Structure formats: C-alpha cells, structure tokens
Structure 1
Amino acid sequence: MPTQSFTLDDLRRVLLEAAGADESVDLDGDILDTDFEELSYESLAILETCGRIEREYGISLDDDVVTEAKTPRALLGLVNTQLAGLPAAA
C-alpha cells in the first residue's frame, strides 16, 4: 500500500477552499515558514482547514497540537505524521 502524503500544493488548495485568500497574499510564493497570521489566516480559518483535511484524508488532528502549528511547514508535518500513523509530537 503506497504511503499517502500531504503536500504544500494540497495545503494551498484546502486553505483556498476553506477560507479563501486575501488578495494581497501570494500563496504560490515561498510560504513554508511564513506565519499563518502573516498569510491572513486566523485560528478559526486554520481549524476549518484542518477539519477539511481530516475529512478528506481520514485522519484526526488534535486541536491543541494544530493551534501550535504556526506555519504551513509545521502543519504539513502534523498532517504527514498522522498519515504515516506515527504519534504526533506535542
């Protein structure tokens, strides 16, 4: 069974579906280490994004851990950890 992974392109798509995008933000740029707040996504938008990820990928993301993921890189790490079946780091 191939291992499924969640990519930056997947995250961009889900962010746009869940919360849209501020016209002044370029999600196609180098955003891996940019805070979600700088990308105009507040915590509610990230929780909605995570809910969509959970439904689409059949995983469960702990809200407390998700709120600590301040950048796309951190969120990608959490999602891919769950997809790999590994315990999430607190």
Structure 2
Amino acid sequence: MRALIQTEAEFMPELTDEQKAARVQRFRRIIKYRNWFGWVFAVVGGMLFWIGFEDGQSPIIMLNGAMFFGYGLFMVWQTRRAREKLDGREG
C-alpha cells in the first residue's frame, strides 16, 4: 500500500543545474519587483496617513494609510531577508 505522504524525491524530481539557475533568476526578479512595490505601498500609505491626519475627520483613512505603510515596509523586509539568504547560499 502506498503511503499518503510523498517523499521529497517523489514530489520534486531532480532538477538540472540550468533549471535551478533559471528558478533562482526568476525568484530574484520576483523579489526585486516585490521590493519596488513595497516602497510604493509605504509611500502611498504615508501619504494616505498624512491626508487623513490633515483632514482630522478621517480616522479610517489614517488607519488605511498606516496599514499600507506597515505592509509596504513588511514587503521590503521580506525581500531583504530573501536576498540575504540567496546571497549567503550562493556565496
């Protein structure tokens, strides 16, 4: 009877060096764009927070701005960690 949980060898076939390099290159491109969008989210969030603060009657806009800002910084933090792991592994 076959086990319900697949082993790593069954689940992922062995990749060639070219396939591994292509996956790493694609992942680098993804984290580059994620870094850019993280900064965009942070700037937009800061602007939304400032607009809500200036208005004084918009706590929801301030909250939305704070959430955008926080998520943007979180995205940047994630990309830096991923890039450090890639550089450490390849170095």
**TM-score, structure 1 as length reference:** 0.26
**TM-score, structure 2 as length reference:** 0.26
Q: Which has the higher contact order (CA 8 A, sep 6+)?
A: 1
- Structure showing the higher helix proportion among its residues: 2
